[in-house]
Structure 1
């Protein structure tokens, strides 16, 4: 009889056994898309207000010049600090992708942002590995390491009790550390014992609380996850000790941070199937929490179908269950960071501009008289009817009352744009990249990024990803 592996052992075995041969077909196609999306949102996020003080802090530390941070390739930093920068930039606009839930009792769309922690870790270690080995890291090695961390993070997020998030932990910061650790271990080609120690180290670094949503610290959670993963792998490689079953047992991570979980849901499923493929990943059309996207699309469609303009709106009601309303905490947004968690702002942006992208997520637009006035016309309402339908999908209904007395309503599409059931096309994904890269990269530079990513598994040097996305400097001053 085969003994069932612990969660830690299953994660370690998968991490060390992952090879480029596992990246085929749909898995390979989706991995490329996730990388392109991650590059896009990190580019756009690198301009956000929180990045300049973070950059000044990083530059003040000095250290070994091992790695180029994304968007600022003129700098060389210690690898863990490059990961911190890139990971924070990638989550700065809350536009990075979202893991879908599969296990029982898991709220749909509320597990983690799976791409940025492993992507930032892989990018940060590309230069170091190239220097140590004397040859570039090829695209196949890079993609394999990225996909490894993506899968490990998703499976641990699926295993932990969903109360982990409901109690206030930010899963992208906590579980993201394990994703980044697995990627770093794969990039460094660590053995099973060393990888197990790295996961143990990461278990004591994992952090992030939802109290900081709506502030610069929320994206810092993801940057710190990437930093922690790189640090854990490098410490383990130096012989630093840690519990090699740190996810499991009475004092293990699942028990302490869940509390509890169900490793049996995933221990036999690492890579079988890959979470990236099934149940899949949502690539966001809007830079806000995925729970808001169906309602935003419903608002836009309702206005178009009924011929309603912003000046026609008397009031808007958004009806949803607690899984949707709970995390969206700001009644009226005063800043763009608060706007990511404010239905009033998100629906106001759609009403006023029929879009909600990088240009709308500015403090000037959020605080403008027109936006503030529209926000005060929008209310959210808890719906017992929708709550009773369950949390297996993101459900909501939008109602608009016009100034001439009309009342119209529309249910949000459960197969919302960006979900695996209604994915963005490659052209739409490239459009999202262009939106994020506007003013930073020329169309010709953007096309070079597309050409590289769409054939990344055959690229001789993955470090070109950093070079091709270079635009400025860590302190906000052009390099």
Structure 2
């Protein structure tokens, strides 16, 4: 989209989104944004395959079959089955978030790609979209999510909403509208229909319902777009007008509408990008895990010599990580104490660390009991800055890190991203299939029909 494009006023966000989404073409997306989006597909497809064969992803697929939604134009990843676009978006979105290994972005205060890749692939397969069309739809959804997050962040998240689900609903609707080639009027209706669909409580973190939030957002967005395509209508601006989304979901602070940029003139995907997770747990634990691991290596420490561990992080981390003594792998993903203990007691914090049967590992539990976690009110709410202090029988060692590994500014290398993809995909496919799929998704722009990939 040209920077000369005339945009509507932020007084009517749905109209501005509709103008942007309905006019966006592949050639209008910056080249670096295309590659970021491609990497997002690689990472998200990989973690979706891993999540499809266990836990929330497996259960969602089973439940879908029980409701008679089997069969249709869209693939259910890792299951060898198909479903309607709506059903596949739900199951794949849930599986993609099932292991909490999917990417994150400060631009949305949550996980953007899992609510975009699932609906994009589902609708893309249904309409025979090209890889370039899928990438364009992804970017349309990403920009929409960041645009709507800006005026209410971080208050929306701090109030208890799971932004991945609430904001993700709009991104999914925008992506689906792009693939369905809706005109500006129907795209606006899709966005305003979506405004009546957001949900997702942070209270459900640490359970299967948390990943279901992502599937729900994907399903709701696809539903909104298909309804609009068939002439379904909504209020002209269910986002900003009185009693609309921003007023009801924004939190206690007044929204900052000046933070909303002109879509297409400013690209959130290149400014914020994504953080690709190195560890399969809440992103707020990642800086602490890295700090603890480095302290253990730099000072040649032994877990048995650890006397106490103090962790200091942001209030956002405190809000998300409320499981001091987890008894399941899902709860362990939202426990600073367990995650740090795993980093200290094990060589690495991988997928197996959060299998239910490994949570009670005596070596990890011995360290977990020595970990204390507190928040620092002087650190910005959503900051990843974390200080870890390990006290041993021979002395005390401390390290403060501001960012996890794999951020937008310090991304995983191509080799590291491929390694993560194969590690995840191998849980559902054989190695030959995993490698073939990696090559196809990694060059998504060269795909004539996304159905061919699956």
Do these two structures clear the TM 0.5 threshold for a shared fold by scoring above it? yes
Distance 1:252 1:365, change over 3 A: same
Distance 1:56 1:447, change over 3 A: closer
Distance 1:448 1:203, change over 3 A: same
Q: Which residue, 219, 222, 228 being the options, matches 1:227?
A: 219
Distance 1:308 1:64, change over 3 A: closer
Is the Cα contact below 8 Å between 1:202 and 1:229 reproduced in 2? yes
1:168 aligns with 2:160: yes
Matched residue, 1:249: 241
Q: Which residue, 112, 115, 122 being the options, matches 1:114?
A: 112
Is the Cα contact below 8 Å between 2:53 and 2:79 reproduced in 1? no
Q: Which runs of 5+ in 2 are unaligned?
A: 1-5
Counterparts in 2 of 1:220-369, with a 5 A limit? Answer: 220-259=212-251, 260-268=254-262, 270-369=263-362
- The one-character-per-residue Cα deviations of 1:113-135 (angstroms, maximum 9, x if unpaired) are 111111110111123213xxxxx
Distance 1:446 1:298 in 2: 32
Matched residue, 2:3: none
Q: Which residue, 455, 461, 464 being the options, matches 2:443?
A: 455
Matched residue, 2:130: 138
1:33 aligns with 2:65: no
1:425 aligns with 2:413: yes
Distance 1:14 1:3 in 2: 9
Matched residue, 1:381: 374
What is the deviation of 1:73? 5.8
1:93 aligns with 2:94: no
Distance 1:75 1:438, change over 3 A: closer
Is the Cα contact below 8 Å between 1:67 and 1:82 reproduced in 2? no
Distance 1:455 1:91, change over 3 A: same
Matched residue, 2:174: 182
Matched residue, 2:55: 49
Distance 1:346 1:286 in 2: 10
Matched residue, 1:4: 9
Is the Cα contact below 8 Å between 2:342 and 2:353 reproduced in 1? yes
Distance 1:359 1:2 in 2: 48
Matched residue, 2:398: 409
Distance 1:2 1:227 in 2: 28
What is the deviation of 1:445? 2.1
Matched residue, 2:28: 22
What is the CA RMSD across the aligned residues, in angstroms?
1.9
1:397 aligns with 2:387: yes
Counterparts in 2 of 1:69-88, with a 5 A limit? Answer: 69-72=75-78, 74-88=80-94
Distance 1:173 1:409, change over 3 A: same
Q: Which runs of 5+ in 1 are unaligned?
A: 102-109, 131-136, 468-479
1:62 aligns with 2:68: yes
Q: Which residue, 432, 438, 443 being the options, matches 1:444?
A: 432
Distance 1:27 1:7, change over 3 A: same
TM-score normalised to structure 1 length: 0.89
Structure 1 range deviating more: 244-253 or 209-218 = 244-253
Matched residue, 2:363: 370
Q: Secondary structure in 2 aligned to 1:226?
A: helix
What is the deviation of 1:2? 8.7
Structure 1 range deviating more: 84-93 or 68-77 = 68-77
Distance 1:71 1:277 in 2: 28
What is the deviation of 1:450? 2.5
Q: Secondary structure in 1 aligned to 2:307?
A: strand
What is the deviation of 1:416? 2.6
Q: Secondary structure in 1 aligned to 2:150?
A: helix
Is the Cα contact below 8 Å between 1:114 and 1:154 reproduced in 2? no
How many residue pairs were aligned? 446
Q: Secondary structure in 2 aligned to 1:316?
A: strand
Distance 1:391 1:437 in 2: 35
TM-score normalised to structure 2 length: 0.93
Q: Secondary structure in 1 aligned to 2:358?
A: helix
Distance 1:45 1:74 in 2: 14
Higher RCO structure (Cα 8 Å, ≥6 apart)? 1
Distance 1:232 1:378, change over 3 A: same
Distance 1:2 1:29, change over 3 A: closer
What is the deviation of 1:267? 4.4
- The one-character-per-residue Cα deviations of 1:219-266 (angstroms, maximum 9, x if unpaired) are 000000000011111111122221131111112111111045233322
Distance 2:430 2:70 in 1: 32
Distance 2:228 2:7 in 1: 29
Distance 2:80 2:437 in 1: 18
Counterparts in 2 of 1:143-222, with a 5 A limit? Answer: 143-222=135-214
